[in-house]
Chains A and B, each alone.
Chain A
Amino acid sequence: MVGTPVLFVAIPLLAAFLIPLLGMIWKELVRIVPGLVLMYLMVLSINLLNHVLVSGPIVEVIAGWAPPFGINLVFSAFSGFLVTLMIFLGLVVWLYSYRFKRNVGFEPAKKYFLLLMMLITGAVGIVLTGDIFNMFVFIEITGISGYGLTAFYTGRDSAEASFKYLMLGSIASTLLLLAIMILYSQLGTLNMAEIASKIHTVNPTYKVISLILFISALGIEAEIFPLNGWAPDAYAEAPGPVGAAFAGIVVKASVYAIIRYIFTIFDISGAYSFLIIIGMMTLIIAETAAIRQDKLKRMLAYSSIGQMGLVLVAFGFGTEEGVFAALFLMLNHAIIKSLLFLSGSYLVYNSKDKKIVEVNGMHKFLPITSFLFALGAFAIVGLPPFAGFWSKLSVLTAAADSHMLFVLALVLIVSVIELVYYLRVVNRIYFFKKGENVDPKKPTFNALLAMIVLGALILVIGFYPDVITGVIHKASADLMDKTKYINDVLSIKQ
């Protein structure tokens, strides 16, 4: 045993609670500790992932109760891949925000890192857990820290955004709880594997209602249209790195949850086409809304929503190819959208309204940031030879192989729209005259480093996608193999 999945939940949670205490010893520790923790987890997750890819999933039982009675954590290729991705993004976000907004003072910084650690804990927990109620708990942890981070600036707008998030979040909790109750009342168990193995016995009506409630609840977190009203506000009002964390971590975790329910737990085949329908709706509405935005982060937020719609569509094909495409897309989206959020927040750092027009002519003052933003923009719209192309290609291939030509065409049309608004911004950065009262801020060294790491990844994956596709192939195979999951979990005897 190289390590245990419990650490992924335990360590960041512990770190989150220790941060205020450590802050009393030495203020810098507040900033340093999360980094150390995340680095350790990064090493751990890569080790575990390597192990898992070779010798099958690790199922960890908590408190000595074997499944289906106790809570278990499953570190399989699929969940391991997502966990690694989240930890990596967490690390990048930490690196970026290490000296972000030095002027905010110690207290807010303390809260920020605390909430960030909790956010990561929650998200990782969602992915790792094998128990639906436990997942609910983790979703709540994620949500609460998310509300806090949204309101970080304690302004009027951020408070409003946070309130919207909170309100929809609580609806989500209610619905989720309701869904869990229905399922529990029918089967008497909360363990995913157990439910999955017994789901065919459930009355179809209950099954469907419970699934609908699950999707609705998780859809709120996963930004599915029309449940995603909170998202644009939250992204726009939260600090830039938090936007990256939302796009890269929280949403991924929620999508994971939906996918887990549809692919593993339930056996309703109609759910796949439903995924495609809502995914397409999300994609189209978000992208068309994005083109008319005048604030940079809001635009990125809509774009992020749209991408998640595309991920759901890709999952909705229900084929292994589709899953592969979706996972690849999630990876690329996490990297690229984070890069866009991180560099974008420096482009509009000192402006009050964060308007798109305020990025005019920024390349002269922030050459590297501008370049990275442009790189990200080119990559996210799927231009070769950047990372986004390969995932888009695999999505389209999957669509064609599933004979969904209509979906294929729509995705491509929407891509054109996406192209337009990204290019508009890039053109502004490079070819417009700088506005009078915009005061560019040079990024700090570690922020730059964080962005360059992401940019380099985009290029590496773009030129040589094989570095990562092997893992994704295994992860998608892992997700598709439902019986193996059930067997792996239920065969554990403590």
Chain B
Amino acid sequence: MVNDKHSQKIVDFIQNWSRKHSIWVLAYGTGCGAIEIPPTMTSRYDAERLGVRGAATPRQADVLMITGYLTVKTLKRVIRVYEQMQDPKYVIGFGSCTINGGMYYDSYNTINVLDKYLPVDVYINGCMPRPEAVLSGFAQLQKRIAEGRADGATQYKENLEWYRANQKRIIPNWVMPEYNW
């Protein structure tokens, strides 16, 4: 039944719809962006009405949110957290720093382009992005999920060697478990 192409489509649609409306966020509060999360979640903007909700551990989370600049030290942990998340999983790059380094573009210990290390599905730009922008980012992610285009995890799996090479280049003393999903 599931092998049938049409029914597969329907199943996919329903699944994607549910994924879209239930986004559990693991906010990795790295940079200054973490301060924008509380207003997003609380009464003024109330992201929960969109199904967005905080998750406590990577095992339960759907979205990994990198809120701001990422030092090399933190990157290692972020990668670890990402790899512990369950498929399907998405990454939101939050703020300019994750896009191009922002004001830390020439810092010796922050990374510039998050996408080289983790498959980012949605970037939210701004320094800092206001909650409106965050909500808009979530809306964008929901759109991509519904369309089935939020496949960062698949890309990560397929291009693991490239990502690993990038990661290893920047992280000294690489000791991480194998990622073989």
Judged by CB atoms under 8 Å, the answer to whether A and B touch is no
Contact residues of A with B, CB < 8 Å?
none
